[in-house]
Structure 1
Amino acid sequence: MMYRPFENRLNVHLAEHQLYRAQWTILYYLANNESATLVELSHYMSVEKPTVTRTINRLEELGLVEHVPGKDKREKRMQLSAAGQKVYKDVRVTIDQYEQEILEGITEQEQIEAIRIMGEIRNNITK
């Protein structure tokens, strides 16, 4: 009951930056982990590797991510480009404002408890 309204409004905010949810998820992960392989991204997003490959290819076309050499030549490791870092920072401001809106009236302690509870639920689902 919360997921669809959340996603719909998030997509409206992301559209202001010409991004989709999957693209934002990859930008977010790379911004917080410096670089990642396509396999790491597919595990993080819980999707198949071909799905990540298509999204990464589009982000490369937009100049937001770039390939970096890995230890293994077969490994495709990606990181944010300079343009990707700028876009991430711009979108982050929009997302932070959205998060503030949807958390209005909820104390910091309640937010911490909700995060803990959702983490436990996720762990139970993925067992």
Structure 2
Amino acid sequence: MLYRPFENRLNVHLAEHQLYRAQWTILYYLANIGTATLVELSHYMSVEKPTVTRTIYRLEELGYVEHVPGKDKREKRMQLSEMGRHVYKDVRMTIDQFEQEILQGISEDEQNEAIRIMGEIQKNIAK
């Protein structure tokens, strides 16, 4: 009951930056974790590699991501471009404001407890 309304509102905010959720997820990963292969991104997003490939292709077209030379020539390693870092910062400000709106009235302790509980649920699902 939370997922769809959250996703819909998030997509409205992301649309202000001409992005979709999957694209934002990749930008977020690359900004916070660093370079990644398409396989690493597909595992992180829990989707098939062709899905990530299509999303990466679009982000490359927009100039937000670029290839990084890897150890193995077959490995497609990606990183944020300069433009991608700029877009990430802009979108991050929008997302931070959105998060503040939806967490209004919920204490920091309650937020931390919810994060802990969701982590436990995630572990149980992954078993």
The normalised TM-score by structure 1 is: 0.99
In the TM superposition, 1:49-88 aligns within 5 A as 49-88=49-88
How far, CA to CA, are the matches of 2:64 and 2:34 in structure 1?
13
Which runs of 5 or more residues in structure 2 are unaligned?
A: none
Secondary structure of the structure 2 residue equivalent to 1:97: helix
1:123 alignment partner in structure 2: 123
Partners of 2:33 and 2:78 lie apart in 1 by 10
SS of residue matched to 1:18? coil
Which digits, 9 at most, give the CA deviation of each residue in 1:41-85, with x for residues without a partner?
000000000000000000000000000001111100000000000
Q: How does 1:1-127 map to 2 (within 5 A)?
A: 1-127=1-127
**Per-residue deviation, 1:34:** 1.5
Shift of residue 99 of structure 1? 0.2
**Structure 1: 5+ residue stretches without partners:** none
Q: Secondary structure of the equivalent of 1:87?
A: helix
SS in 1 for 2:79: strand
TM-score by length of 2: 0.99
The one-letter amino acid of 1:10's match is L
Secondary structure of the structure 1 residue equivalent to 2:85: helix
User: How many Å separate the matches in 2 of 1:103 and 1:71?
Assistant: 43
Cα RMSD (Å) of the superposition? 0.3
- Percent identity, aligned pairs only, is 85
Aligned AA for 2:91? V
CA–CA distance in 1 between the matches of 2:61 and 2:4?
Answer: 29
Q: SS at the partner of 1:110?
A: helix
Q: Which amino acid aligns with 1:112?
A: N
- Please state whether the residue corresponding to 1:91 is helix, strand or coil: helix
Q: CA deviation at 1:33?
A: 1.2
Q: Distance in 1 between matches of 2:91 and 2:16?
A: 9
Report how many residues are paired.
Answer: 127
